[in-house]
Amino acid sequence: MNLPSTIAIDGPAASGKSTLAERLANKLNYLYFDTGVMYRVVTWLALDRGLSMDEEEMITKLSQLVQIDVQSPSKEDGRAYDVLADGEDLTWKIRRPEVDANVSVVAAFPGVREALTVQQRCIGQRGQVVMVGRDIGTVVLPDADLKIYLDASVEERSRRRYDECIARGEEITLESILDAMRKRDQIDSTRDVAPLRAAEDAVIIDSDGLGIEKVLEITIDLARGKGQ
Ligand code: DC
């Protein structure tokens, strides 16, 4: 069966796009690449070096110099892949709340986006890839063979994130997650460069009330219909 070679999946935080992309890539035997990890790595490095989030020039320099790799998991601790920055394993560090709280600011810096987009395009152009982010269908791979925009209400996304945090034993309230989610949505969708939005030729799936299996089924049907 012929299938689309490049699949772009965009959408807001916690819409389920990473889970969908990972499952889809496994099914098709494609590379799964979550571009959000790259913005997270740059944010972590900036925080780790004690930079303030308004030091745009220094943070942009960091993004131009760091070598980010995503590789098969080296440990069985729940990770889907290893995230390495200049060889250092940052897989879990980039998921910390301080990174969550600052990553949208870093992702809005044009120079950071430019540096990371170049790397993302190189990976995408090799084909057989499911790439996830906010601007994959609009900016990184505008010629992707299949574009999905996975949406869900802010309430449902916050509830999902809350359930994940509680399952990990973290102490957090639903209200604080809802508040942080609204702030991130606002920054991601109103920034000047590559704001979060569906590409004109993207298929929009609203996942409110839909389980991952159903969303996967819809996506596989779309992929089959879009074979080259
Ligand atoms: O998907 P995520 O939560 O790991 O993304 C982290 C941040 O990076 C989020 O604020 C949006 C941003 N991002 C982006 O601007 N463009 C991408 N292609 C991927 C992520």
pLDDT for 9-30, tens place per residue?
A: 999 988 999 999 999 999 999 9
Average per-residue pLDDT in the chain?
A: 92
CATH topology of domain 6-227: Rossmann fold (3.40.50)
Answer yes or no: is pLDDT of 202 > 50: yes
Structure tokens at 96: 């910390």
Eight-class DSSP state of 202: P
CB 64 within 8 A of CB 117: no
Pocket test for ligand 1, best of 94, 100, 103 (most atoms within 8 A of CB): 103
pTM value is 0.90
Nearest by Cα to 10 from 103, 146, 119: 146
Answer yes or no: is pLDDT of 227 > 80: no
Answer yes or no: is pLDDT of 169 > 50: yes
Number of H helices, E strands in the chain: 8, 8
Minimal-distance CA residue to ligand 1 atom 13: 36
Structure tokens at 60: 């942009």
Answer yes or no: is pLDDT of 228 > 90: no
Structural domain spans, the chain: 6-227
Minimal-distance CA residue to ligand 1 atom 3: 13
> Could you tell me the pLDDT band of residue 226, with boundaries at 50, 70 and 90?
low
99-128 mean pLDDT: 93
Q: Which residues line ligand 1 (CB under 6 A)?
A: 13, 35-36, 39-40, 103-104, 107, 133-136, 184, 188
**pLDDT value at position 78?**
83
